[in-house]
Structures are given as structure tokens and as C-alpha cells.
Structure 1
Amino acid sequence: MWSELQPTDHQLSISPYWMGRTEELILGFFFFASLAIAPQSLNAQVNIEVLRTDSLSMGRSGSVGGDMTFQTGNVDFIAVNFRGRVYNVTPTQTRLIVGNGGLGFLSRSRFASNGLLHYRRSYTDVSFYFDPEWFGQINYDRSQQLTFRAVGGAGARTAFAQGGWGQFGAGSSAIVEYERLMLPDSAIHPNRTLKVRWSSFLTLRVVPSDNLVITSTTYLQPALNDFDDYRAVENLRLSTSITETLALTISFDLRYDSGPPDGLSALDTRLRTGVTYTY
């Protein structure tokens, strides 16, 4: 259902063979890069909605890109990020693989890195009103003092309204989250946590013109056994097309953690500018 709501764009035609090889290269690069650049740590769950609202066609498609990040909060630094994603769309299912990696410097001397690998499968023929799905993710982010994070969950998403102007949708899922942190022995926050969270989101996509897309996504993720323990994430992205396959993007991210580890700020913000190539 969700994939049927996507606007149709003309895309570059590439044979299934080269689609498969590209998918393998993207997965291999980001998997080994995440191992190589990490003295380890990690961040919040990847914002899938800003990816899923991109136009989809049957078969394999995807994108590769990069951006510059300007971040304040726990760490003030400038970073270079690389990302890739691969879709495999059939009449009944949508598979999505996302890989991210980043390098940056803190205060011109200290080094930070992050990496992420995410897999998601949605079932688009179960109901006209919603799409059930399940997903898994591993990632790290040194700026958050996290050496390893694993997330798995299942839920559903739907679209309340859609048309030539864009889309308005929401979703909800239950997730199991394991985190391992790099904290001193004197820290109050535990070094390892295992929690079940309820993750919900609202997303709005507005298309003012053929070459401009504005997307806003808001996540709220409370722990099921303690609603005072929650995370909130807001992402605002502007994407403008240069060609049918190349786009410039500007993104603003805000992340709030009600119970951050010792020495970390509850609020992080990021401003990113980048380029994305879609095939």
C-alpha cells in the first residue's frame, strides 16, 4: 500500500545484473567501513521515513550520496558522512537496506566516527489501510559514547492523506534495544542496557514543485516500563533536483534523550548539506 502512494519519476534504467552488483558494493563498503573506522560508539535509530517517501519503482533501485554535518550539543564538530540505500520492490513486499558511515574531528584534534547498517521489510498487500513490517539494525556513534547498539522490532505504518501536494502519514512499532556504552567506572548510568520501547512517528511530505520536496518526521520512543524514559527525534529535510538522478539536500536533525549517559547533553542538533545520486 505505502509504495503505491509514491509519486512516479523518470529514473535512469539499469539492468538487473548491475543493480545486483551495485547493491553488493554498497553493502560491502558500508559494512567494512563501519568496522574499520570505529573505535566504536553509536546513535539513534535511522530515520527511515525520509527515505521511504522517495519515489519507488518495481524492481531494484537505490542511491548513494554524502553530506557535511555541523553538529552542536554533546560534540561540536564538522563531519563528512557517506550513505547508501537499496530498495527491492515487488507487488507484495518492499525490502530496504541502508548503510551509513561518517568521519569527523572534534575541537580540531579529537577524532569521531559512526556507522550504521539497517534492514527493513514491509508487506504492501496485507491491507489497503496499513503496511505491516519488521526491521533490524546495528550501529555505533563515538560522539554518544556508545560502542554497540542493536535494535529489532515490528509494527505498521499508514498514510492518512496523499495527493499531488504530498503525503501525511504515521506509524507505530515495538522495538527491543540493546546498548553497550563506554563509560568510566564511576558513572551512574549502566554500561549495558536492554529495553523494550514503543516507537511512533508522524511524517509530512510536501511537494511545492516538480524539483522541490520538503519532508518533516517526528519520532517519540518511550520505554514501555517507564514513560519518563524517552527519546524524541525531529528531522526536517529539503531536497531539490538538479537532474533526474542528482539532488541537493539540506537536513536539520534534533535529538532529545530524557536520560542521557553521564557527561552527555540531553539535546543534540545537526545541520547537514549534501548531494544524492539516485539510480
Structure 2
Amino acid sequence: MSLPRPGGWVVLAMLLHAGSAAAQIVNVQALFDEKAELGPAASIELGGDWRTGSTQLFSVRGSLVGQLRSERSVWLGVIRGEYSFASGERIVSQVLEHVRYRRQLTERVSAEAFVQHEYNEFRRLQFRALVGAGPRVVLFNEEDRGLTFGVALMVEYERLRKDGEPDAGDRYTDPRVSSYLLGRVNLMENIDLVETVYFQPRVTRPSDLRVLNETLFSMTPNPSVTVGLGFNLTYDSAPPATVPALDTQLRTTVRVKF
């Protein structure tokens, strides 16, 4: 299956949003280049909108992905940011950093450890940090399809911004189980489907649940260009006050290899 590879890619991206998507769960599994050569690799994704007239909007967003691969291990680092202004008011402001280490134990089993920091003004997150670790198992991996399962125990710390809401300034430290299932199918020549589902229940109260479903179609018309169309659905059963429980995001990307 042909998935976007970080090594040697400079990415020019245009993102189309539906709803107010949030980064409560970040699907970094789709960012790994499983076929990358040994050594370092990196990719950059940039995008923006500038509209005037009846609709005044300015938006800029980008991400940097770095990968360092050896015979039995790989490091992955991700930095993302997005800022948007409409009619002179800021409507999106978020930053995220994620670092993950994977160590191959057997042909199908790996161990993963990760840390993450996040700031998201419009989810009222002043500070969010987490650390976790767990196994990753390749259930099957064929030329035209594959299925991978992973689970980790993580501890997260959240601090809400101080504003006029009832829970302003609240702080939380919670253990969660983070599990994911990643499937990939080659639909036809140069067209791939990648489906990822995350479940993150709170250990001390499983009804406090976060879910991410990400569907990505990847089309490669030629070796130098990849076009992606993705839809994300994020659910949080216990979001901060005034923050919706359900978010969606529709995203298109164009990747050009130089």
C-alpha cells in the first residue's frame, strides 16, 4: 500500500474544515513511514486561507514531522500549530507537540512510549500534557491490506484557562487507557483507504470516554504528487463547559515531492 512518506517530502496543504475540530486525540500512527530507509527523514505541511469582501478570514496552519529510524527502533516527532482570524477576531489558536519511540521486539510486536503537550484556546485548554507506554501488534500485513492494534496506559494532566466559566482554572490528573485499531486497504491502483479508530476511557471512570475516528483517502496520480481527503470525528463524553462533545473536520491535502 502506498502511504505518504515523511522522508524528502515538502507538503503544500489546503485544509477545509467542517465544524470546530479539536486535537483531543492525535492520530500519529498514520504519520509513520513504515518503509523509510534507515536514518533521518522529515516532512513539512503548510496551509492557509485569506478571504476578503463579504467574508473576511485569515488562517495559517502547519506541521513538522521528523523521523529517525534504525534497525529495530524509530523516533517520531510532531509539531503542529494553527491560527485563524475572522472579522478581526481570533477564532482558532492551538499548538501541539508529540514525541513517540517505538522498539521492535518481534516481527509483529513492538513497544511504544510517548509524551505530548497541547494548548488549545477554543477547547479552553491552557495546558495539557500526557505520558504513556504500551504494546503495538501487527495483526496482519499484506501488500494490499493490513491491520494493526495498539494499547497503552497513559497519565494526562489538564489545566483549563481562567475565564468566566464555572470550571475556570480547574485542574485534572487522570489515568486513561489509549487503544487504537489502524486498517489500510488498497482500493485500486494509486488509491488507498486508511481507517483509524481510537478509544480512550478513563481508568477510574470508564464512562468518561474519548473517541477518534479518522478516515483518509490517499490518491497518488504520479510519484511526485499525493492528494488526500480525510474526515475526522472526535467525541468527548465530558468536555469542559461550553465545549461541544462532538467535533468534525473535513480536510484535503496536496503533497508534492521535490
Q: Structure 1-normalised TM-score?
A: 0.76
Tell me the distance in 1 between the aligned counterparts of 2:33 and 2:40: 16
C-alpha distance in 1, partners of 2:5/2:65? Answer: 19
**Amino acid corresponding to residue 255 of structure 2 in structure 1:** T
Q: Kindly indicate which of the two structures has a greater share of residues assigned to strand.
A: 2
Report the Cα distance in structure 2 between the residues aligned to 1:167 and 1:145, rounded to whole angstroms: 37
Deviation at 1:271, TM superposition (A): 0.8
TM-superposed deviation, 1:251:
1.4
Is 1:168 equivalent to 2:168 in the alignment? no
Distance 1:225 1:8, change over 3 A: closer
What amino acid maps onto 1:86 in structure 2? G
Q: 1:108 to 1:55 in 2, by over 3 A?
A: farther
Q: State the Cα RMSD in Å.
A: 3.0
Match of 2:209 in 1: 230
Q: 2 CA distance for matches of 1:65 and 1:243? A: 19
2:201 is equivalent to residue 239 of structure 1: no
Contact 1:67/1:272, CA 8 A, preserved across alignment: no
Q: For 1:1-279, list aligned pairs within 5 A.
A: 43-52=23-32, 55-67=35-47, 79-105=59-85, 109-124=89-104, 126-184=105-163, 187-188=166-167, 191-277=170-256
Return closer, same or farther for 1:9/1:101 CA change in 2, 3 Å cut-off.
closer
Offset of 1:184 from its aligned partner? 3.5
Residues 113 and 121 of structure 1: is their aligned pair in 2 closer, same or farther, counting only changes over 3 Å? same
Q: Distance in 2 between matches of 1:149 and 1:217?
A: 23
The amino acid that maps onto 1:94 is V
How many correspondences in the alignment? Answer: 240
The residue identity in structure 1 corresponding to 2:91 is F
In structure 1, C-alpha distance between the alignment counterparts of 2:151 and 2:188, rounded to whole Å: 30
TM-score between the two structures when normalised by the length of structure 2: 0.82
Write the letter of the residue equivalent to 1:64: I
Specify which structure has the higher proportion of helix.
Answer: 1
1:248 and 1:157 mapped to 2: Cα distance?
Answer: 28
Structure 2 counterpart of 1:271, which letter?
A: L
Structure 2, unaligned stretches of length 5 or more? 11-21, 50-56
Between the aligned residues of both structures, percent identity stands at: 27
The change in CA–CA distance for 1:112 and 1:157 in structure 2 (over 3 A counts) is: same
The unaligned stretches of length 5 or more in structure 1 are 1-5, 23-41, 70-76
Judged with a 3 Å threshold, the aligned counterparts in structure 2 of structure 1 residues 122 and 178 are, in CA distance, closer, same or farther, namely same
Query: 1 CA distance for matches of 2:157 and 2:189?
Result: 42
- Tell me how far 1:58 sits from its aligned partner: 1.9
Does the Cα contact within 8 Å between 1:10 and 1:244 map onto a contact in 2? Answer: no
Task: Report the residue type matching 1:166 in the other structure.
Answer: R
- Report the Cα offset of residue 100 of structure 1: 0.9
Deviation of 1:132 after TM superposition, in Å, equals 0.4
